[in-house]
């Protein structure tokens, strides 16, 4: 955990609100494979990481509640009895949305103050938004003793995103952020919302993230659009979700749907199969097979599901001639953010130099490279190790 970040958020809270806060760490996530399968009741393979959001929170005696975004030096005051989505800014609705969902479930909270900061850039495809939502619901559950389970909390976070932010996301990000386990990835069944932890030790290999540092503007509407395509194909097939379909099932309606929608549904069915195949490859310590699945995932995201972009495709294509990289793909919702790469440890330094240079030459901007540790999910920060 980032002690500088913890100290900054804590002291900002104390300076602004003159009280001793409860501190929460809520991580971002990576996803090894299983993209856009979560809202199809399918399988995903995420892990929480050691980067995320630190929140400082405490009850207040004031007539209003206040949220303070330390990194942006912006704050918002609001009346708990008259909540509505904010029309300005970006981060406000993650907080207001969580409070609104708590209230909808008839839990009573009083006024409070919260300050937060993070060390994952927004738009990186590493779920800074789920990390923020989880930090808020976890913090409120703690200071107001609401008695919510972790499962309750992730559903509140997810609904906040649907109803206040307007993105009809699945449950992967909130789950991974809340339930992460140090050194483990989680094979999550998004229908039962239960996961099997896999200890991750890739021996001579590791996962490396490369951030395009772009986030194309249509991403939220394109995301919702993909989700409704999946729902309409499921309805056509008369099933609950695409998780219940095989390729053979899909082929029975192939001539009745558009070729584009056929490819999108096909991608989801195949990606779901890949997530399960990846768990078998990992059990068998077969990193070559895992890498091939990761490359196939990118190919489908790019060409069938059409949620990639030029920058992501370039980063992936640059890995293909390198025998020390077993797999690479875009990660998260798409249209920007990071690629995830399964790379030999011995190759990391040379590849970092190569890709930084190549990306800059091609796009005249920098990419960012992250090595992350797999970490525990949302929790209270008990003491600061200096
Ligand atoms: C975003 C959403 C998730 C998931 C991914 C794509 O991160 O929040 O629910 O759908 O995109 O796999």
Question: How large is the C-alpha radius of gyration of the chain?
Answer: 21
Q: Tell me the best of 37, 38, 229 to mutate to test the pocket of ligand 1, counting ligand atoms within 8 Å of each CB and taking the most.
A: 38
Distances (CA, A) of 202 to 121, 189, 195, 345: 26, 23, 20, 10
**Distance from C-alpha of 82 to C-alpha of 97, rounded to nearest angstrom:** 12
Count Cβ atoms within 10 A of the Cβ of residue 365 and give its class: 0-12 exposed, 13-18 middle, 19 or more buried. Answer: exposed
**Distance from C-alpha of 323 to C-alpha of 340, rounded to nearest angstrom:** 16
- pTM for the model: 0.97
Task: Give catalytic residues, as residue numbers.
Answer: 173
Q: Within a 10 A sphere around the Cβ of 6, how many other Cβ atoms? A: 18
Nearest atom within ligand 1 for CA of residue 36? 12
Instruction: Kindly give the distance from the C-alpha atom of residue 333 to the centroid of ligand 1, in angstroms, as a whole number.
Output: 5
**Distance from C-alpha of 299 to C-alpha of 305, rounded to nearest angstrom:** 9
pLDDT tens for the chain, 386 residues long, are: 799 999 999 999 999 999 999 999 999 999 999 999 999 999 999 999 999 999 999 999 999 999 999 999 999 999 999 999 998 768 999 999 999 999 999 999 999 999 999 998 888 999 999 999 999 999 999 999 999 999 999 999 999 999 999 999 999 999 999 999 999 999 999 999 999 999 999 999 999 999 999 988 777 899 999 999 999 999 999 999 999 999 999 999 999 999 999 999 999 999 999 999 999 999 999 999 999 999 999 999 999 999 999 999 999 999 999 999 999 999 999 999 999 999 999 999 999 999 999 999 999 999 999 999 999 999 999 865 44
Please indicate whether residue 133, judged by its CB atom, sits closer than 6 Å to ligand 1.
no
Nearest atom within ligand 1 for CA of residue 129? 8
């Amino acid at each position: 955990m980032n002690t500088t970040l913890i100290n900054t958020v804590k002291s900002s809270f104390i300076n602004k609100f003159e009280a001793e806060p409860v501190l929460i760490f809520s991580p971002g996530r990576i996803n090894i494979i299983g993209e856009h399968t979560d809202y199809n009741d399918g399988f995903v393979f995420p892990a929480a990481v050691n980067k995320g959001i630190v929140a400082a929170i405490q009850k207040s005696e004031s007539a209003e509640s206040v949220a303070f975004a330390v990194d942006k030096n912006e704050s918002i005051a609001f009346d708990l009895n008259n909540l509505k989505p904010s029309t300005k800014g970006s981060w406000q609705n993650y907080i207001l949305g969580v409070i609104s969902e708590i209230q909808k479930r008839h839990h009573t909270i009083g006024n409070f103050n919260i300050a937060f900061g993070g060390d994952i850039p927004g738009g990186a495809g590493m779920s800074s938004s789920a990390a923020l939502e989880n930090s808020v619901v976890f913090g409120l559950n703690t200071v107001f003793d609401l008695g919510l389970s972790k499962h309750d909390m992730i559903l509140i976070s997810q609904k906040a995103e649907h109803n206040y932010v307007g993105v009809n996301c699945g449950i992967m990000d909130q789950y991974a952020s809340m339930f992460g386990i140090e050194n483990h990835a989680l094979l999550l069944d998004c229908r039962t919302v239960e996961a099997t932890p896999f200890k991750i030790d890739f021996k001579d290999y590791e996962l490396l993230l490369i951030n395009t540092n772009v986030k194309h503007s249509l991403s939220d509407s394109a995301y919702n659009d993909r989700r409704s395509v999946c729902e309409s194909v499921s309805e056509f097939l008369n099933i609950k979700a695409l998780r219940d379909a095989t390729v053979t099932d899909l082929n029975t309606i192939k001539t009745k749907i558009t070729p584009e929608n056929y490819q999108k549904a096909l991608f989801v069915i195949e990606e779901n199969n890949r997530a399960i195949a990846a768990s078998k490859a990992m059990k068998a310590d077969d990193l070559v097979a895992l890498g091939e699945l990761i490359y196939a995932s990118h190919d489908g995201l790019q060409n069938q599901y059409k949620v990639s972009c030029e920058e992501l495709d370039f980063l992936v294509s640059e890995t293909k001639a390198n025998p020390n990289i077993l797999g690479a793909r875009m990660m998260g919702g798409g249209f920007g953010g990071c690629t995830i790469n399964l790379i030999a440890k011995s190759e990391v330094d040379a590849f970092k130099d190569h890709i930084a240079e190549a990306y800059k030459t091609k796009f005249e901007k920098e990419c960012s490279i992250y090595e992350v540790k797999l970490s525990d999910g949302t929790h209270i920060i008990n003491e600061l190790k200096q």
